[in-house]
Structure 1
């Protein structure tokens, strides 16, 4: 009698294949980072460590800091705006309300990133919807600069990240045992007290998951800061593009790519550590 392989082995084949392709691509990036840049040519020279010493400049530290700040701000504001929508999506009593919220939440996912970015350029421009409306209401006399600023970049990134955040939060909220909320209410807790001290703590894993996912996703943002930032707001992906496709310095672009990768992995590891401690403190409190 022949022994059959576990059925899940065949499901691992696509994942293993993708992992091998990703590892091969990363190895190629690593190889390029140790090669010499030849100005005016796409060909590279021999082995060198100059690419790694060049990164020790203030401008690249500031770009990394800006990337962290913009990613954190995007995750934070996406969380604040998405939680009420997710809560209403799960707890709405009427089916048509839930249907409308679902459509509004996931429709942006079916629109290309470039299209959405250009739409935000029309909204945030000097003669865009926002400034035109404020002028019509007499709030401002002249246009407020929103385009080509960090605020404009964060606004666009938050809108891109909200669908993912809403889905993750809605999943967490739907898993809450409503009996815990009813028990708190029976003991005399007001609806606000139940929400802040029962509902939110029970959805903390979803909150943390959504925050980490959006943070990591924003770390690799390219088209939004490229177009909304207009070259004045640079994230690490934009600097990689400038070095690799404007200056054709592929070796240094490879180094910046590795720095961005390790920075993202390091920040995720730190958040995971903080998340574990927070969950442990909540479990013991």
Structure 2
């Protein structure tokens, strides 16, 4: 394939998609500096008051909850996904590797809403968890999992785990096993080798995947909408309420801009740190 075909088949379509994304973002930012006219779908003149209103308790608390939920989701997702990714890469049992691949990848073929409705059945008052706890006599009354941050985080962890497993498995597969063998030959126990050699060598992947998942879940909509039931709001839910319920498009645009800056800003800020970690690992 010559250079001209590469240009027209790959570069030009990518440039068109990038242009469409930039134009969409420009439209959002344009709305964010327009004045809101109550009772009208039209917007007024230029103003920066929309950005000042983010400091109001309603908006500030939703932004804060979004950041907390996103990073807790990323943290628990890391703790649950790392053992699975490690076993996926290091196991010598073919059927076990196949099973882990199927279990890790299959959720990606079901939509977010389908998985969220499944968790509603599991976490509901008469769901699987409460029914099991009542049958075992552990609790005397159903526990409240729905419409709580805990329920939202549980569903988001399940939603994000396949991607986290793939990212971590890639990082673990690049570890030079000669370092682990050298540590074992020097008398280090398997747990010591794992904690002092394997984990540090995969730290760039750990940091990068954690931030990626946190940035990804900042835009979650269906899961907090259904599991949270209006009691647990994230930025995307508040954008929906302001834009389509109150028709306050300027505030909705400001919230969208905040989410965009938070997500992509975290990815941009973490890149130099990950680069330094990769250099340190390469020099060790």
Give the TM-score of the pair, scaled to structure 2. 0.93
The farther-off stretch of 46-55 and 151-160 is 46-55
What residue number does 1:90 align with?
Answer: 89
Q: How far apart in 1 are the matches of 2:245 and 2:237?
A: 11
Q: Distance in 2 between matches of 1:67 and 1:275?
A: 24
For 1:43, the equivalent position in structure 2 comes to 42
Q: Which residue of 1 aligns with 2:124?
A: 125
Match of 2:255 in 1: 256
Q: Write the mapping of 1:207-226 to structure 2, written as runs, cut at 5 A.
A: 207-226=206-225
| Superposition pairs of residues 230-269 of structure 1, within 5 angstroms | 230-269=229-268
CA distance in 2, matches of 1:212, 1:57: 27
- Residue 22 of structure 1 is matched in structure 2 by 21
Deviation at 1:279, TM superposition (A): 5.1
Q: Deviations over 1:186-221 (max 9, x none)?
A: 111111111111111111222122111101101111
CA distance in 1, matches of 2:43, 2:87: 56
Match of 1:74 in 2: 73
CA contact (8 A) 2:36 2:250 kept: yes
> Does residue 1:271 correspond to 2:277, yes or no?
no
Equivalent position SS for 2:228 = coil
Gaps of 5+ in 2: none
For residue 55 of structure 1, give the secondary structure of its aligned residue in structure 2: helix
Partner Cα separation in structure 1 for residue 116 and residue 279 of structure 2: 40
Map of 2:134 onto structure 1: 135
Cα distance change on mapping 1:281 and 1:179 into 2, 3 Å: closer
Structure 1 stretches lacking a partner, 5+ long:
none
Q: Partner of 1:102 in structure 2?
A: 101
- Tell me whether 241-250 or 29-38 shows the greater mean CA deviation: 29-38
Question: Cα distance, 1:273 vs. partner?
Answer: 4.6
Shift of 1:39: 2.0
Q: Secondary structure of 2:207's match?
A: helix
In structure 2, do the counterparts of structure 1 residues 104 and 5 end up closer, same or farther at CA, with 3 Å as the change threshold? closer
For 1:54 and 1:92, the matched residues in 2 are separated by 53
Aligned residues: 282
Q: For each residue in 1:48-88, what CA deviation from the matched residue of structure 2 results, as whole angstroms up to 9, or x when unmatched?
A: 33322322212211111111110110000001000111111
**Tell me, what secondary structure is at the counterpart of 1:67?**
helix
Counterpart of 2:166 in 1: which secondary structure? helix
SS at match of 1:46: strand
Separation in 2, partners of 1:60, 1:88: 42
- TM-score, normalised via structure 1 length: 0.93
Query: How many Å apart are 1:251 and its aligned residue?
Result: 1.5
2:7 alignment partner in structure 1: 9
CA distance in 2: counterparts of 1:90 and 1:284, whole angstroms: 24
CA distance in structure 1 between the aligned counterparts of 2:187 and 2:158, rounded to whole angstroms: 38
C-alpha distance in structure 2 between counterparts of 1:217 and 1:281, whole Å: 27
In structure 2, the CA distance between the partners of 1:56 and 1:41, relative to structure 1 (3 Å rule), is: same
- Per-residue CA distance 1:91-121 (angstroms, 9 max, x = gap): 1112111111100001100011111111101
Q: Deviations over 1:21-68 (max 9, x none)?
A: 011001111111122222222222333333223222122111111111
Distance 2:24 2:91 in 1: 46
Task: Tell me the distance in 2 between the aligned counterparts of 1:68 and 1:56.
Answer: 15
